[in-house]
Amino acid sequence: MDSQTEALTEDPRPDGLRSAPSLVLVNTGNGKGKSSAAFGVMLRGLAMDWNVAVVQFIKSSDWKVGEEKMGRQLGVDWHAFGDGFTWDSENLEQDKAHARNGWAQAKAIIEAGEHQLVILDEVTYLCSWGWVDVDDIVSTIRDRPHHVNIVATGRDAPQALIEVADTVTEMTEVKHAYKSGIRAKRGIDY
């Protein structure tokens, strides 16, 4: 029998488990679900009566997405600084300025310490495209107030961000409807 299909008979948890005042999670990789997983954490934080902030760096504030609608209804401080997909952009310099403004806002939110959870949705693109200094992002996350949890999402997470994280999950694409010609579906993809 394959070991992956057998039920565990021994406790897999490591010895010496301890609590941490906060965690940094990174959802990266080419597969779908990075932001969706972050919004699942958003709901968990809200269930704990945490103050939650979401800062989106690529998705446009003009897009009417379900997670923003519900997040706002539930009291999430929601900030969208993107203009949408870069391949649709008519002014990349303006996109860069929005990203830098968004990072300045995200940094201020983190440093203020008023939120127990801050989601930095698609922040990795700012790093890989060179729009914001990776060291500034990493040091802000590393030096955050002790009670502020961070979830960072996006493809190609830089190694420095991976190193400062407590948990890193890489989403792997096995199959995607879009590649077979199916458009993104409301309620499923946004």
Domains of the chain: 24-171 (3.40.50.300)
pLDDT of residue 62: 63
> Within 11-91, where are the H helices?
34-47, 66-73
- 157, 154, 141: which is closest to 106 by C-alpha? 141
pLDDT of residue 1: 45
Share of the chain above pLDDT 90, in %: 67
pLDDT bin (cut points 50, 70, 90) of residue 160 is very high
pLDDT of residue 106: 98
Q: Give the three-state DSSP class for 180.
A: helix
Query: Is residue 82 over pLDDT 80?
Result: no
pLDDT bin (cut points 50, 70, 90) of residue 88 is low
pLDDT of residue 15: 86
- Opening angle at CA 86, ends 83 and 92, nearest 5: 80
Place of tokens 């994280």: 165
pLDDT of residue 92: 76
